[in-house]
Amino acid sequence: MGLFDEPFREVEDFIKEKQDLKQIRELPLKSILNWSEEASLILEEESALELGHPGQGSLSFLVWSQALKKNQDRLLILGPDLNELKGKKAPFGQIIRVYGSFPDEYQCYCQLRDAIYQTKLKGLMMRLIPSQQVIWCRVHQTALAQGFSLSHLGSALIKKIKALSFVESVEVIFITSSKKDLNQLKPAGEEVKRIAGALVKMVEEKDFDCEACEYWEVCEKVLELKQIKKRLNKKGKRWRLR
Protein backbone atom coordinates (compact mmCIF):
# COMPACT_ATOMS: atom_id res chain seq x y z
CA MET A 1 0.00 0.00 0.00
CA GLY A 2 1.21 3.52 -0.73
CA LEU A 3 0.32 6.90 0.68
CA PHE A 4 -1.29 8.21 -2.50
CA ASP A 5 -2.60 4.95 -3.95
CA GLU A 6 -6.21 6.06 -4.26
CA PRO A 7 -5.67 9.43 -5.97
CA PHE A 8 -2.93 7.83 -8.07
CA ARG A 9 -5.51 5.36 -9.39
CA GLU A 10 -8.02 8.11 -9.98
CA VAL A 11 -5.51 9.96 -12.17
CA GLU A 12 -4.79 6.67 -13.96
CA ASP A 13 -8.52 6.23 -14.68
CA PHE A 14 -8.73 9.82 -15.90
CA ILE A 15 -5.85 9.29 -18.32
CA LYS A 16 -7.38 6.05 -19.61
CA GLU A 17 -10.74 7.71 -20.16
CA LYS A 18 -9.18 10.56 -22.09
CA GLN A 19 -6.97 8.18 -24.06
CA ASP A 20 -10.04 6.18 -25.08
CA LEU A 21 -11.61 9.41 -26.28
CA LYS A 22 -8.35 10.19 -28.10
CA GLN A 23 -8.19 13.52 -26.30
CA ILE A 24 -4.85 13.02 -24.64
CA ARG A 25 -1.57 12.81 -26.50
CA GLU A 26 2.05 12.26 -25.69
CA LEU A 27 4.53 15.10 -26.10
CA PRO A 28 8.12 14.43 -27.07
CA LEU A 29 10.62 14.51 -24.23
CA LYS A 30 13.59 16.72 -24.88
CA SER A 31 16.67 14.73 -23.97
CA ILE A 32 18.86 17.83 -24.23
CA LEU A 33 16.98 20.73 -22.78
CA ASN A 34 18.01 23.56 -25.02
CA TRP A 35 16.58 26.28 -22.83
CA SER A 36 18.19 28.57 -20.24
CA GLU A 37 17.34 27.89 -16.65
CA GLU A 38 16.58 31.17 -14.93
CA ALA A 39 13.77 32.70 -12.91
CA SER A 40 11.66 35.29 -14.69
CA LEU A 41 9.22 37.90 -13.51
CA ILE A 42 6.88 38.59 -16.39
CA LEU A 43 4.42 41.45 -16.44
CA GLU A 44 1.07 41.06 -18.16
CA GLU A 45 2.17 43.44 -20.89
CA GLU A 46 5.12 41.19 -21.80
CA SER A 47 3.28 37.92 -21.58
CA ALA A 48 1.97 36.01 -24.57
CA LEU A 49 0.02 33.54 -22.47
CA GLU A 50 -1.35 33.17 -18.98
CA LEU A 51 -2.04 29.68 -17.76
CA GLY A 52 -4.04 28.96 -14.65
CA HIS A 53 -4.61 32.64 -14.01
CA PRO A 54 -6.64 33.11 -10.82
CA GLY A 55 -10.21 32.71 -12.01
CA GLN A 56 -9.36 30.70 -15.13
CA GLY A 57 -9.09 27.32 -13.40
CA SER A 58 -5.93 25.87 -11.99
CA LEU A 59 -4.89 22.55 -10.50
CA SER A 60 -1.52 21.21 -9.52
CA PHE A 61 -0.66 18.21 -7.42
CA LEU A 62 1.74 15.37 -7.13
CA VAL A 63 1.12 11.73 -6.34
CA TRP A 64 3.43 8.79 -6.11
CA SER A 65 3.35 5.04 -6.40
CA GLN A 66 5.78 2.36 -5.34
CA ALA A 67 4.89 0.19 -8.31
CA LEU A 68 7.98 -0.87 -10.23
CA LYS A 69 8.48 1.29 -13.27
CA LYS A 70 12.04 2.15 -14.14
CA ASN A 71 12.92 4.83 -16.66
CA GLN A 72 9.52 5.06 -18.24
CA ASP A 73 9.14 8.81 -18.17
CA ARG A 74 6.18 10.20 -20.01
CA LEU A 75 4.81 13.60 -20.90
CA LEU A 76 1.10 13.86 -21.66
CA ILE A 77 -1.10 16.75 -22.67
CA LEU A 78 -4.85 17.14 -22.66
CA GLY A 79 -5.69 20.16 -24.77
CA PRO A 80 -3.60 22.44 -26.95
CA ASP A 81 0.12 23.08 -26.48
CA LEU A 82 1.26 26.67 -26.06
CA ASN A 83 1.58 27.52 -29.75
CA GLU A 84 -1.86 26.05 -30.42
CA LEU A 85 -3.73 27.97 -27.76
CA LYS A 86 -6.37 30.44 -28.88
CA GLY A 87 -6.58 33.54 -26.73
CA LYS A 88 -4.22 34.79 -24.09
CA LYS A 89 -5.59 32.98 -21.06
CA ALA A 90 -6.24 29.32 -20.47
CA PRO A 91 -6.97 26.99 -17.57
CA PHE A 92 -3.99 24.97 -16.49
CA GLY A 93 -3.37 21.70 -14.77
CA GLN A 94 -0.01 20.18 -13.92
CA ILE A 95 -0.36 16.71 -12.45
CA ILE A 96 2.78 14.77 -11.66
CA ARG A 97 2.95 11.06 -11.01
CA VAL A 98 6.17 9.74 -9.57
CA TYR A 99 7.30 6.12 -9.36
CA GLY A 100 9.96 5.08 -6.87
CA SER A 101 10.47 4.14 -3.25
CA PHE A 102 9.76 6.67 -0.55
CA PRO A 103 11.42 5.69 2.73
CA ASP A 104 10.75 8.93 4.59
CA GLU A 105 7.48 10.19 3.19
CA TYR A 106 7.68 13.74 4.50
CA GLN A 107 11.25 14.25 3.31
CA CYS A 108 10.36 12.81 -0.08
CA TYR A 109 7.28 15.03 -0.27
CA CYS A 110 9.37 18.12 0.51
CA GLN A 111 12.13 17.21 -1.91
CA LEU A 112 9.67 16.54 -4.72
CA ARG A 113 7.90 19.83 -4.04
CA ASP A 114 11.23 21.67 -4.06
CA ALA A 115 12.23 20.01 -7.33
CA ILE A 116 9.05 21.33 -8.93
CA TYR A 117 9.53 24.81 -7.50
CA GLN A 118 13.17 24.90 -8.51
CA THR A 119 12.27 24.27 -12.14
CA LYS A 120 12.81 27.73 -13.55
CA LEU A 121 13.00 28.41 -17.25
CA LYS A 122 13.75 31.65 -19.03
CA GLY A 123 10.58 33.25 -20.31
CA LEU A 124 8.34 31.30 -17.96
CA MET A 125 7.06 32.69 -14.69
CA MET A 126 5.62 30.02 -12.46
CA ARG A 127 3.86 30.72 -9.16
CA LEU A 128 2.34 27.92 -7.14
CA ILE A 129 0.91 27.17 -3.74
CA PRO A 130 1.25 23.44 -3.11
CA SER A 131 -1.17 23.35 -0.15
CA GLN A 132 -3.87 25.04 -2.27
CA GLN A 133 -2.96 23.11 -5.42
CA VAL A 134 -2.92 26.22 -7.57
CA ILE A 135 -0.42 27.02 -10.31
CA TRP A 136 -0.19 30.18 -12.35
CA CYS A 137 2.20 30.64 -15.26
CA ARG A 138 3.02 33.44 -17.63
CA VAL A 139 4.88 32.83 -20.86
CA HIS A 140 6.92 35.70 -22.29
CA GLN A 141 6.21 36.78 -25.86
CA THR A 142 9.84 36.22 -26.84
CA ALA A 143 9.89 32.72 -25.36
CA LEU A 144 6.78 31.73 -27.29
CA ALA A 145 8.18 33.21 -30.49
CA GLN A 146 11.37 31.19 -29.93
CA GLY A 147 9.37 27.97 -29.72
CA PHE A 148 8.95 27.45 -26.01
CA SER A 149 6.43 24.69 -25.41
CA LEU A 150 5.08 22.48 -22.67
CA SER A 151 7.61 19.90 -23.88
CA HIS A 152 10.31 22.17 -22.48
CA LEU A 153 8.56 22.58 -19.15
CA GLY A 154 7.66 18.90 -18.85
CA SER A 155 11.15 17.77 -19.77
CA ALA A 156 12.70 20.19 -17.29
CA LEU A 157 10.36 18.97 -14.54
CA ILE A 158 11.17 15.35 -15.26
CA LYS A 159 14.91 16.12 -15.29
CA LYS A 160 14.73 17.88 -11.92
CA ILE A 161 12.57 15.22 -10.29
CA LYS A 162 14.62 12.36 -11.72
CA ALA A 163 17.71 13.85 -10.07
CA LEU A 164 16.27 12.66 -6.73
CA SER A 165 17.76 9.30 -5.79
CA PHE A 166 14.47 7.68 -4.79
CA VAL A 167 12.72 8.41 -8.09
CA GLU A 168 12.55 5.82 -10.86
CA SER A 169 10.09 7.29 -13.35
CA VAL A 170 8.11 10.49 -13.75
CA GLU A 171 4.94 11.19 -15.63
CA VAL A 172 3.78 14.76 -16.18
CA ILE A 173 0.24 15.48 -17.35
CA PHE A 174 -0.59 18.98 -18.54
CA ILE A 175 -4.21 20.05 -18.94
CA THR A 176 -5.04 23.11 -21.01
CA SER A 177 -8.38 21.91 -22.42
CA SER A 178 -11.05 23.17 -20.03
CA LYS A 179 -12.03 23.96 -16.49
CA LYS A 180 -14.39 20.98 -16.74
CA ASP A 181 -11.47 18.60 -17.24
CA LEU A 182 -9.68 20.14 -14.29
CA ASN A 183 -12.82 19.77 -12.18
CA GLN A 184 -12.94 16.09 -13.07
CA LEU A 185 -9.60 15.69 -11.27
CA LYS A 186 -10.54 17.88 -8.32
CA PRO A 187 -11.75 14.95 -6.11
CA ALA A 188 -8.36 13.26 -6.57
CA GLY A 189 -6.70 16.58 -5.79
CA GLU A 190 -8.81 16.99 -2.64
CA GLU A 191 -7.76 13.55 -1.45
CA VAL A 192 -4.10 14.45 -2.05
CA LYS A 193 -4.64 17.72 -0.18
CA ARG A 194 -6.04 15.87 2.84
CA ILE A 195 -3.27 13.27 2.86
CA ALA A 196 -0.50 15.86 2.42
CA GLY A 197 -2.16 18.10 5.03
CA ALA A 198 -2.22 15.26 7.56
CA LEU A 199 1.40 14.40 6.75
CA VAL A 200 2.57 18.00 7.17
CA LYS A 201 0.66 18.44 10.41
CA MET A 202 1.96 15.15 11.79
CA VAL A 203 5.56 16.12 11.25
CA GLU A 204 5.31 19.81 12.07
CA GLU A 205 3.38 19.47 15.34
CA LYS A 206 5.12 18.46 18.52
CA ASP A 207 2.09 17.51 20.56
CA PHE A 208 -0.86 16.07 18.80
CA ASP A 209 -4.25 14.82 19.85
CA CYS A 210 -5.85 12.51 17.30
CA GLU A 211 -9.26 12.89 18.93
CA ALA A 212 -9.27 16.62 18.21
CA CYS A 213 -7.56 16.48 14.82
CA GLU A 214 -9.39 17.47 11.66
CA TYR A 215 -7.44 14.85 9.72
CA TRP A 216 -8.30 11.81 11.84
CA GLU A 217 -10.67 10.48 9.17
CA VAL A 218 -7.90 10.59 6.56
CA CYS A 219 -5.55 8.78 8.89
CA GLU A 220 -8.22 6.13 9.49
CA LYS A 221 -8.60 5.67 5.75
CA VAL A 222 -4.98 5.82 4.60
CA LEU A 223 -3.08 3.04 6.31
CA GLU A 224 0.28 4.58 5.44
CA LEU A 225 -0.49 7.66 7.52
CA LYS A 226 -1.15 5.48 10.58
CA GLN A 227 2.19 3.77 10.06
CA ILE A 228 4.00 7.11 9.73
CA LYS A 229 2.32 8.24 12.94
CA LYS A 230 3.49 5.12 14.78
CA ARG A 231 6.98 5.60 13.43
CA LEU A 232 7.07 9.23 14.57
CA ASN A 233 5.76 8.18 17.96
CA LYS A 234 8.71 5.86 18.39
CA LYS A 235 11.02 8.75 17.52
CA GLY A 236 9.80 10.62 20.58
CA LYS A 237 6.87 12.69 19.36
CA ARG A 238 4.05 12.79 21.86
CA TRP A 239 0.86 11.48 20.41
CA ARG A 240 -2.46 10.56 21.83
CA LEU A 241 -3.38 7.98 19.24
CA ARG A 242 -6.82 6.71 18.43
Partner 1 sequence: MAVKVVAICGKGGVGKTTVSSLIAKALFQKKDRKVLIIDADPAGGLGMALGIKPKRFLSQIRKEVINSIKKRKSDKKDIALMVDYLIMEALTELGNFAFLSIGQPEERGCYCSVNNLLRDSLKFLAQNFDLTVIDGEAGIEQVNRMVMRTVQFLILVSDPSVKGIRVAETIQKLARKISAKNQAGLLLNKIRSEHELKQIRAQTKLNIIGWLPEDNTIRDFDAKGLSFFQLPICPAYKGVVNALKKLEIL
Instruction: Determine the size of the site formed for partner 1 (CB under 8 A).
Output: 25
Task: Show the binding pattern over residues 33-62: x = contacts partner 1 (CB under 8 A), - = does not.
Answer: -------xx-xxx--------x--------
Residue 142 binds partner 1, judged by CB under 8 A? no
Task: Show the binding pattern over residues 121-140: x = contacts partner 1 (CB under 8 A), - = does not.
Answer: ----x-xxxxxx-x-x----
Task: Show the binding pattern over residues 73-112: x = contacts partner 1 (CB under 8 A), - = does not.
Answer: -------------------------------------x--
CA nearest to 60, candidates 159, 178, 188, 165:
188
Which residues is 59 bridged to in the sheet? Answer: 93
Q: Which is nearer to partner 1, 117 or 190 (CB)?
A: 117
d(CA 92, CA 230): 38
Q: Which of residues 148-207 bind partner 1 (CB under 8 A)?
A: 197, 200-201, 203-205
Among 114, 190, 217, 220, binds partner 1 (CB under 8 A): 114
Interacting residues with partner 1 (CB under 8 A): 40-41, 43-45, 54, 110, 113-114, 117, 125, 127-132, 134, 136, 197, 200-201, 203-205
